[in-house]
Amino acid sequence: MSRRRLGEQIHGHLKLLYDLGVRHADAPRGAKRPRAAAGVPAPVRVEEVAAAAGTETLEEIRADLGECRRCDLATTRNRIVFGAGSARAKLMFVGEAPGAEENAQGLPFVGKAGQLLTRMIEAIDLRREEVYICNILKCRPPGNRDPKPEEIAACKKFLLRQIAAIRPTLICTLGAFGVQTLLGTTEPIGRLRGRLFDYGGTKLMATYHPAYLLRNPIEKRKAWDDLCLVRDTIRSV
């Protein structure tokens, strides 16, 4: 790698740390990291994960989804946003639902929140094309409202099949709905973030949604702590 390229990477890394609210690095040996949880707040439905397991490819799952009309979001969406990234990703991000730009392009996390997510991924020495990114919902709720239970129910089986096809080392959920849906809990994101859970044999961790971080920059330091746990977990495998 050339010095110029290395310098560009270092500059970008430092810029992201600044964006995330990190002003100095004071992590000597033995510094505390967010602790992994021994259990989960509610029983994980391992049978759901097992039922989804198989030899399906992402292409086959997308074909089965088709021009989905399994809920009322089909009447208001422009494009289905299935997911994007590596089918062999060690790290899988699961957000909540597509926004306006995602609805227009048919790709996840392409707006301002997506730009921040890309910088977050690069800060832990990965490239966006090396991970897999999707959402709980495959269609945009009108006005970016919260997902309804019946919409989550219609999409969840496809998410489980995506997880089974990719078999990631770690799932990082972005925002409350992802972690609450997968773990079957109503605990708030503030109590769930920064902890490792077991999800049918796959590690799962929650952090704040990039859109939330853009609105609440004071929480960016916590998000950086979460990213450090993601990075360390991926590297330890």
What's the confidence (pLDDT) of residue 15? 53
pLDDT-based confidence at residue 172 (cuts at 50, 70, 90): very high
> Is the Cβ–Cβ distance between 116 and 220 less than 8 Å?
no
Q: Sign of the CA dihedral 139, 142, 147, 148?
A: negative
Q: Residue 71: its pLDDT value, please?
A: 97
What is the reported pTM?
0.82
The mean-pLDDT minimum among 40-49, 52-61, 73-82 falls in: 40-49
pLDDT tens readout for residues 71-103: 999 999 999 999 999 999 999 999 999 999 999
In a domain? residue 194: yes
Task: Find the length of the chain.
Answer: 237
* Rounded Cα–Cα distance for residues 189 and 192 (Å): 5
Q: What is the mean pLDDT of residues 143-151?
A: 96
Q: Measuring CA to CA, which residue among 68, 143, 137, 69 is closest to residue 100?
A: 143
**How much is the average pLDDT of 129-153?**
97
- Which of 111, 102, 116, 93 lies closest to 214, judged by CA? 116
37 pLDDT above the threshold of 80: no
Residue range(s) defining the domain that contains residue 188:
45-236
| Total number of domains constituting the chain | 1
10 in a structural domain? no
Report if residue 35 sits inside a domain: no
Share of the chain above pLDDT 70, in %: 77
Instruction: Give the pLDDT confidence score for residue 237 in this predicted structure.
Output: 83
What's the CATH number where 147 sits?
Answer: 3.40.470.10
| 55 pLDDT above the threshold of 70 | yes
Residue 84 included in any domain: yes
Q: Could you tell me how far CA 218 lies from the centroid of its own chain?
A: 20
Q: Do the domain assignments include residue 89?
A: yes
pLDDT tens, position by position, 176-209: 999 999 999 999 999 999 999 999 889 999 999 9
| DSSP code, position 82 | -
Transcribe 190-224 into DSSP letters: HHHBT-EEEETTEEEEEE--HHHHHH-GGGHHHHH
Answer whether residue 134 is part of any domain. Answer: yes
| pLDDT for residue 44 | 47
> Is residue 39 one of the residues assigned to a domain?
no
Confidence of residue 33 (pLDDT cuts 50, 70, 90): very low
Question: Given pLDDT bands bounded at 50, 70 and 90, which one contains residue 43?
Answer: very low
Mean pLDDT of the chain: 86
- Could you tell me if residue 4 is inside a domain? no
